[in-house]
Amino acid sequence: MATKRSQTAGSGGATATANATRATKAAKARAAAVSEPLPMATAPESSEANRAATATLTPTPAPAPLPEKAGVERRRSVREKLVAPAVLQPPSGDASVEAAHGVTVQDLSLGGVGFRATEKFAPGETYRITLGKGPMLLNARVKIVSCRQVGHRQYHVGAEFC
């Protein structure tokens, strides 16, 4: 019986050594696979199928992060904060005191302007806004897009350039 046990133990040792050798070879193979560079794609030929395949290989840019506010930002250009007085006139450019409305610009972008006013403006109306002086003068036509009351006789108005 002792000889049988020693033979079994001996063959068990050989099996353990074989398993260790196989595990080492597998680990080396995995390491080699990880360190080898991936083959580069070659330029496609001019067939339509190859062009379609190439289009799927090009990376797409990451989407812009959403603003942290509750609403979704729909503006096409970045809004810059700016607090400055401005004058809103009828589209004809009538500069008379009765026709002009004094407003305070709150923000400005390439697409439009946001301002505070003491009067309510109806969406769809057009005006001419004058902001600044000298070489920094802005005189442009705007169309009222939104008007919401934010206090007693205080309205926040959004307008786009037209």
pLDDT, tens digit (0-9, with 9 covering 90-100), for 54-86: 545 555 565 655 555 556 666 677 888 888 999
Between 124 and 57, the more confident residue is 124
Identify whether residues 52 and 99 lie together within a single domain.
no
Across 43-79, where does the E strand assignment appear?
none
Q: Which residues contact 57 (CB under 8 A, 6 or more apart)?
A: 41
pLDDT in tens, 131-158: 988 888 989 999 999 999 999 999 999 9
The structure's pTM equals 0.52
Q: Which residues contact 148 (CB under 8 A, 6 or more apart)?
A: 155, 156
For residue 8, the model assigns a pLDDT of 45
pLDDT in tens, 22-57: 666 666 666 555 555 555 555 545 555 555 545 455
What's the CATH number where 85 sits? Answer: 2.40.10.220
| AA identity, residue 9 | A
Provide the residue range defining the domain that includes 101: 80-161
DSSP conformation class of 46? S
Number of domain units in the chain: 2
In a domain, 64, yes or no: no
Length of the chain: 162
For residue 1, the model assigns a pLDDT of 47
For residue 92, the model assigns a pLDDT of 78
For residues 111 and 75, the answer to whether their CB atoms sit within 8 Å is yes
